[in-house]
Structure 1
């Protein structure tokens, strides 16, 4: 059973309601900081009602997560995602439930400069979290569609109008002209080629890290797709065996290409690539 299957079972994550009209108790639904999983959780819950989306918009000092990190909170108190190392997410969910009950966005500071003296970030810094009340899943679904097609996506939140909209992906998450913009990149794909224990171990490590893993051998009829969010790892003990995939990788816009071999082996590899017409820029990055 997958984590998505578990999350779809309403009674497996009970919450305390207490007296009539009291706020539900926040409870973590999924142990994930994967943005696609967070957005899928939010879109499922939006089919039943409203959802709050908390976004990390400011970091003062150190922080465990990057700007643009999210927590999605359902009206029954279930939430997923991280904006810290796990120390304030329940407090964020509590604020989000208040925002949902009042149907109004809000911004909250934690740690350094925060009014909550009893909520201290272990790193000693501070963060600001913006909480938006979402009423439909359209914008989140658009982001998920872009990512499924291996394209970057961008969202912009305008505090004055409480509006969240799709925009061209910014270079990085942050404030632009008074609005907070976030960039979302496709899941990192790792193409691993090799028929050795090293290849198996690297594939297992990449898979456990949440990457999309593609294994390739010369027996495959077609070369795998390689795009700007792809890393190519060649773990052969034979230069001939790696050649087809290496040539394809060097002609692509893969962000990383690595190949196994000693200094002598790599010198031979470079000579072979040079004789095949590859430029120094392609060979040496």
Structure 2
């Protein structure tokens, strides 16, 4: 399997520096480096690199020898092909990502990969995938969970009503007010609450605000938000903790349907994830 990744970017780029794609000996691609403008060509070169065993750097866009391949964004980028990376290093990277840890590694000029930051190579940090915890009942949490899963995010829905959980992979029965033992939170976790019975929120939010979750938000009107903040304050949550709540909840102001709310909250979660 040839590892291909963006190692240099000039100007705008659809995918950021360090984005990766794997290509096997048959030219099958796993992942993508663009919106479709270079991936097929990269795969052809990757198959050749697998045969030769030698790393290779491809240039696209500005200064590229491939004049027939244009980048619509108008920038320039380089893609490094690694046909024989150290499997032990890759396995270690995989284990740490599965454990929800950030991983720093360096690609050296000779095509080898080392753990950690090493001078003389390209150092990059890989982060675990964003995941979402969803609490609530009704069409709002169900619609949001389905949309987030369709976008490729791991989702765990905690809901009491079977009709809310039905068809949502990984959904868990939940009708309490205290934090479930199975809901683990790390720095790449978003916590979302969709309750109409806002009394169920206080203990859940109090716990969530003690975690490193990058996003914590809850559904409700201005009046509901005011009551929520008062309840959290009475529960001992300080101003700094309350200020961590994302308000307003979602990018669609005054959402009038579960679909509008789901789209607005998902966009907001993704936007916040780009900052951590």
TM-score normalised by L of structure 1: 0.75
1:215 corresponds to: 157
Query: Which of the numbers 131, 142, 145 marks the counterpart of 1:200?
Result: 142
SS at match of 2:83: strand
Indicate yes or no: 2:95 matched with 1:181: no
Deviation at 1:135, TM superposition (A): 5.3
Verify the 8 A CA contact 2:57 2:79 in the aligned structure 1: yes
1:18 corresponds to: none
CA–CA distance in 1 between the matches of 2:11 and 2:23?
26
Question: Which deviations, in whole Å up to 9, do the C-alpha atoms of 1:200-220 show, x marking residues without a partner?
Answer: 000001111111111124436
CA–CA distance in 1 between the matches of 2:43 and 2:182?
45
Verify the 8 A CA contact 1:223 1:245 in the aligned structure 2: no
Indicate yes or no: 2:215 matched with 1:256: yes
Verify the 8 A CA contact 1:87 1:121 in the aligned structure 2: yes
1:17 corresponds to: none
Indicate yes or no: 2:31 matched with 1:81: yes
CA–CA distance in 2 between the matches of 1:90 and 1:140?
24
Query: Which of the numbers 33, 54, 60 marks the counterpart of 1:110?
Result: 60
CA–CA distance in 1 between the matches of 2:124 and 2:102?
11
Runs (5+) with no aligned partner, structure 2: 160-173, 245-276
Question: Which deviations, in whole Å up to 9, do the C-alpha atoms of 1:220-275 show, x marking residues without a partner?
Answer: 65361111111011110122112222111111110000111111111111111111
SS at match of 1:134: coil
Question: Which deviations, in whole Å up to 9, do the C-alpha atoms of 1:19-55 show, x marking residues without a partner?
Answer: xxxxxxxxxxxxxxxxxxxxxxxxxxxxxxxx22111
Verify the 8 A CA contact 1:111 1:124 in the aligned structure 2: yes
CA RMSD of aligned residues (A): 1.7
2:111 corresponds to: 162
Runs (5+) with no aligned partner, structure 1: 1-50, 169-175
Verify the 8 A CA contact 2:59 2:77 in the aligned structure 1: yes
Change in 2 beyond 3 A, CA 1:157/1:279: same
Deviation at 1:73, TM superposition (A): 1.5
CA–CA distance in 2 between the matches of 1:254 and 1:124?
36
Number of aligned positions between the proteins: 227
Verify the 8 A CA contact 2:11 2:76 in the aligned structure 1: yes
